[in-house]
Amino acid sequence: LGLTHKSWPQIGSAVALVIAPTVLLTMLSSAERGCPKSCRCEGKMVYCESQKLQEIPLTISAGCLGLSLRYNSLQKLKHNQFKGLNQLTWLYLDHNHISNIDENAFNGIRRLKELILSSNRIAYFLNNTFRPVTNLRNLDLSYNQLQSLGSEQFRGLRNIGTPTSPILPLS
């Protein structure tokens, strides 16, 4: 190879020139993952409000504690919609167009304590919809198109009283 002890510093410098940009790009991409484009982030809180979003951004950091998606154009919450956000303690989805929530949409966010779903187009919930969020304390369902709520829908929620919803019978 013809390498001598005098050529080692040159090789070390060349390796550093190759590695440094790679490390920098890795740091930048993880920063981008932490705060989605067009959102505002404050520490571990992510605010993606009034952006006309039709989909929930995929680049939200796994360490996110609070997520506000208020005043957007979300129409449905899909199976495992919040997978990977297992640190989430509050989630604001009010003032969207949500009419369909998969019964497994909230899988993986067991630490969730506050869920705001007010001012949407929700007409019903499947029985297991809230089962994965056993630590839920505040659930706001007001200003939706709900006809009735069955007590079965809240089974396993130890810390919650009657959900916030104006004059809606629990059957």
Farthest CA pair distance, the chain: 86
Check residue 118 and give its pLDDT. 97
Q: Could you tell me the residue range of the domain that residue 46 belongs to?
A: 37-154
For residue 76, give Cα distances in angstroms to 20, 106, 130, 133, 134.
Answer: 42, 12, 15, 18, 22
Check residue 16 and give its pLDDT. 46
Classify residue 14: in a domain, yes or no: yes
CB neighbour list of residue 103: distance below 8 Å, 6 or more residues apart: 125, 126, 127, 128, 129
The answer on 41 and 24 residing in a single domain is no
pLDDT tens string 15-52? 445 454 443 333 443 344 569 999 999 999 999 999 99
Tally of domains in the chain: 2
Helix/strand/coil percent split, the chain, to 5: 20, 15, 65
The answer on 43 and 14 residing in a single domain is no
Mean pLDDT per 10-residue section of the chain, whose length is 171 residues: 60 51 40 77 98 96 97 98 97 98 96 97 92 93 90 76 50 46
Place of tokens 């929930």: 56
